[in-house]
Structure 1
């Protein structure tokens, strides 16, 4: 079998500012992407950006592009990306403690925490377990407990919520172009294929041709997704919420569909439960393009800028 060269992340739109790091955590090393501020200022503010359940740190290159004088640190969570060999247990407390350990290793005392999808749940648990590390929270189409469709059991939740995103973790691909084609046909990226999306897709493969596979560990997916409904750590974090938090939501879901991940009933429920939570709907995006598309990032960047100044 011919070894397949690992794609080297370019750092997206800000390659001159990008580097990768590996830091010690429980059971091994956590891989990070770091974009330094364009000025190189050591005292620049820091944003920690946490990706979703089957994603990687390369979901975030548009954020440092939009915030050139901010340091952006983005981990590959345990069981994903180049951290996919880190052992269980997974779960929101493990991810939160990994992020805190990464901040320690990089000398980051406090940061604005931006989380997308499952990353928003990790952000909330980080704020509860390590409150002194969090300046404020920006929760992007995630964070509030999921309300499963009627008749869906917890064991069926991954398939009901993620659909093809869960299915592909069981698949193998003969080469990188096959995997690119899989994503080109994904409704969420229809008309939105960019070089940044291709970098993200290429980075997601591990193994060797002709048996390449997505990096996310299946066990990590199933252990983590159950916590997004009523996990103890999440419910505790919400009960103790004491940081400023903004919740941005997409009008379309993972398959570019309506209803979205958080339909109107869920939005009304959670904003009533947490009246201090500011909710913003981002127009004309889906669950992926809210962070991986220019329209979504134009909405996120001002919220993060405001959080940095709060």
Structure 2
């Protein structure tokens, strides 16, 4: 379906399942297809392509706050007075902003390896950020076939099964028919900067919140985005935060893009 938002229409897909609806918000370079593995667990998911991505790629980019306002429009369009909201990576920060500013619309919050301050972000500067995302910016200067794009991501996401049809569907959704990436460079830069240098209001959360975090960041034995100790410290500071859930044997992307990660995430969503 298409949902009117500032500047145009947002593409939204609904996966029918056996639960109350869950609004699922993808990460900075993802799309609504990120949630296909979770949807396979009989979870009713409302999955938007955020502005600048997928079938919403022609919408001008915004900010975490703009994405949150877009999500409010999605809830309105589906006539959902409130919903459980989940966000993965950058989607977690969008979900937090939505829950803090519109707490009556968010009955529960599930954050997946994002949404809470990442310790590594505190060590980044504008210069190091530019260097870190330089490969992603360069990728926007060329065209890709789906197979070429899959081959690159097999290296970047070693735990994701590139022979899985859901994986191919996910990465194919990133490309225009002529092989260009559908996420404009300016949108990628703006959203990444907002996640890293913006001010999160997570300490103002008042809705029941769950936090899932991966054992690794990119591949086995890589340092995680959040350690178990850091996750426990967040729970000690935030009264509405349930006991954090460590997803063993997966990395950042694998929290939702692997069978093991999606099973744990779906279980927590059903509980929430």
**TM-score, structure 1 normalization:** 0.79
Equivalent position of 1:6 in the other structure: none
What are the superposed Cα offsets for residues 219-238 of structure 1, whole Å, 9 maximum, x if unpaired?
12221122223523x23xx2
Question: Are residue 51 (structure 1) and residue 26 (structure 2) matched?
Answer: yes
Is contact 1:169–1:218 with CA below 8 Å preserved after alignment? no
Equivalent position of 1:153 in the other structure: 125
Q: Cα 1:230–1:271, aligned 2, differ >3 Å: closer, same or farther?
A: farther
Is contact 2:150–2:162 with CA below 8 Å preserved after alignment? no
**TM-score, structure 2 normalization:** 0.90
Equivalent position of 1:214 in the other structure: 181
CA–CA separation in structure 2 for the residues paired with 1:256 and 1:172:
30
Question: Are residue 181 (structure 1) and residue 148 (structure 2) matched?
Answer: no
Equivalent position of 1:124 in the other structure: 96
How many Å apart are 1:301 and its aligned residue?
A: 1.5
CA–CA separation in structure 1 for the residues paired with 2:166 and 2:219:
19
Equivalent position of 2:116 in the other structure: 144
Match of 1:31 among 5, 11, 17: 11
Q: Cα 1:190–1:105, aligned 2, differ >3 Å: closer, same or farther?
A: closer
Q: Cα 1:276–1:104, aligned 2, differ >3 Å: closer, same or farther?
A: closer
Match of 1:241 among 174, 185, 205: 205
Is contact 1:148–1:157 with CA below 8 Å preserved after alignment? no
Q: Cα 1:266–1:154, aligned 2, differ >3 Å: closer, same or farther?
A: farther
Return 5+ residue gaps in structure 1 as ranges.
1-20, 39-43
Equivalent position of 1:205 in the other structure: 175
RMSD between superposed Cα atoms in Å: 2.3
CA–CA separation in structure 2 for the residues paired with 1:151 and 1:37:
41
Equivalent position of 2:45 in the other structure: 72
What are the superposed Cα offsets for residues 150-187 of structure 1, whole Å, 9 maximum, x if unpaired?
75313423654x675x3564342342222222223334
CA–CA separation in structure 2 for the residues paired with 1:133 and 1:231:
23
Larger Rg, first or second structure (1 or 2): 1
Question: Are residue 271 (structure 1) and residue 271 (structure 2) matched?
Answer: no
CA–CA separation in structure 2 for the residues paired with 1:189 and 1:119:
21
How many Å apart are 1:140 and its aligned residue?
A: 0.3
Return 5+ residue gaps in structure 2 as ranges.
none
Q: How does 1:289-300 map to 2 (within 5 A)?
A: 289-300=254-265
Is contact 2:161–2:258 with CA below 8 Å preserved after alignment? no
Is contact 2:157–2:253 with CA below 8 Å preserved after alignment? no
How many Å apart are 1:247 and its aligned residue?
A: 0.6
Q: Cα 1:127–1:193, aligned 2, differ >3 Å: closer, same or farther?
A: same
Is contact 1:253–1:261 with CA below 8 Å preserved after alignment? yes
CA–CA separation in structure 1 for the residues paired with 2:224 and 2:191:
20
Q: Cα 1:167–1:252, aligned 2, differ >3 Å: closer, same or farther?
A: farther
Partner SS state of residue 248, structure 2: coil
Partner SS state of residue 213, structure 1: coil
What are the superposed Cα offsets for residues 242-297 of structure 1, whole Å, 9 maximum, x if unpaired?
00111100011135551012235643553343254231100101111110111001
CA–CA separation in structure 1 for the residues paired with 2:111 and 2:119:
17
Question: Are residue 91 (structure 1) and residue 66 (structure 2) matched?
Answer: no
Is contact 1:173–1:179 with CA below 8 Å preserved after alignment? no
